Every structure is written in structure tokens, then in C-alpha cells.
């Protein structure tokens, strides 16, 4: 799992349209990444739509949002269209990024099965991981990620 304050590990995944998205290609922008267990389920709808509804605030701070799950590209494309999500959804069917970033593992609460843990990460414009939480409620992930982004913007203004 990456450490806060350290460079965010790079990854390349396909989005809902089959296009490759590489984290390092987003340098110069702030990035909110959120992991969700399964598209079009209640908690995931709440989380994804929460990021959709705050997208204007996020974009005003020169930031982008990426949602990540193990769902197929076609499932993500359908969900994105149904929910009018204005950001990329990335498919990680082998759980490579999710595992490396600490959001894939055995959930001891639910039948001890491997699963994706709802999480969020905030990466600054220099590629540094500035905040993360593994195991978070849907709406809380939106609120905390937005607060972290605002705090980051404030600290950058103070430094200038």
C-alpha cells in the first residue's frame, strides 16, 4: 500500500471505452481516485453520484476524478451512461492496482471472501499521495476527498 506523502504508484488501466488511462499522464492535475466494489449497487451508486454531483467543485480546483472497480469495461460504460457520470471509470479485473493500493483483500466481516474495499485517494499535481482512506462509507469518501482537495488548494495558495 502506498504511503501518504510519497509518490503515488503509477498504474495503467482501461476506461469504460477501452482507452488506456495512465496515472502519470495526469501529472499537473490533482486526482481523486475512488475504489468501489460493484457498479450499479446501492452504496456504489451513492458514492459515484456523490462524486458526479461535486464534479464542478472538483474541476474548479484543477482536479479530475477516476473511479476504479473490477467490473468489465462494458459494465462500466453502461453504468456511466445510466448515471450520467462525467469522469472515467477504470476496470481492474485482475485487481493489480487495487491490491497495490491496499483496496483488495479478504474482508473478515463477510464470509471471509476476497473483495474490493471502498476507498479513496487524493494525489497532488506532482504525483504525491496526499490523503487516503481504505474502508470508508460511500458519502464519507466524497466528503473527505473534497475536503482534502480543498485543504491542498489552500496550502498551495499559502505557499505562493
49 is catalytic: no
pLDDT for 105 equals: 78
In this structure, the strands spanning 88-91 and 113-116 are unpaired
104 lies in which domain range? 12-159
* CATH number, residue 135: 3.40.30.10
Percent of the chain past pLDDT 70, that is, above it, reads 92
Instruction: Please provide the average confidence, as pLDDT, over all residues in the chain.
Output: 92
Higher pLDDT, 109 or 14: 14
Residue 3 domain-assigned?
A: no
Which three-class secondary structure string do you get for the chain? CCCCCCECCCCEEEECCCCEEEHHHHCCCEEEEEECCCCCCHHHHHHHHHHHHCHHHHHHCCEEEEEEECCCHHHHHHHHHHHCCCCEEEECCCCHHHHHCCCEEEECCCCCEEEECCEEEEECCCCEEEEEEECCCHHHHHHHHHHHHHHHHHHHHHHC
Q: Which of 26, 33, 39, 44 is catalytic?
A: 44
Residue 24 domain-assigned?
A: yes
pLDDT tens digits for range 59-71: 999 999 999 999 9
Neighbours of 66 (CB within 10 A): 22
Residue 7 domain-assigned?
A: no
Residue 1 domain-assigned?
A: no
Place 1 in a pLDDT band, splitting at 50, 70 and 90.
confident
Structural domain count of the chain: 1
pLDDT tens digits for range 98-143: 999 999 975 655 566 678 889 999 999 999 999 999 989 989 999 9
Residue 152 domain-assigned?
A: yes
Amino acid at each position: 500500500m502506498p504511503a501518504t506523502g510519497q509518490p503515488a504508484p503509477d498504474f495503467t488501466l482501461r476506461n469504460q471505452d477501452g482507452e488506456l488511462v495512465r496515472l502519470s499522464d495526469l501529472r499537473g492535475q490533482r486526482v481523486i481516485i475512488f475504489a468501489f466494489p460493484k457498479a450499479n449497487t446501492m452504496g456504489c451508486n451513492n458514492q459515484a453520484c456523490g462524486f458526479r454531483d461535486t464534479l464542478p467543485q472538483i474541476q474548479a480546483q484543477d482536479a479530475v476524478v477516476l473511479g476504479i472497480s473490477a467490473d468489465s469495461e462494458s459494465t462500466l460504460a453502461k453504468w456511466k451512461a445510466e448515471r450520467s457520470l462525467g469522469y472515467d471509470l477504470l476496470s481492474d479485473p485482475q485487481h493489480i492496482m487495487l491490491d497495490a493500493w491496499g483496496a483488495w483483500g479478504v474482508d473478515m466481516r463477510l464470509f471471509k471472501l476476497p473483495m474490493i474495499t471502498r476507498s479513496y485517494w487524493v494525489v497532488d499535481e506532482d504525483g504525491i499521495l496526499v490523503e487516503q482512506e481504505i474502508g470508508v462509507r460511500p458519502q464519507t469518501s466524497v466528503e473527505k476527498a473534497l475536503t482534502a482537495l480543498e485543504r491542498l488548494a489552500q496550502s498551495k495558495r499559502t505557499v505562493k
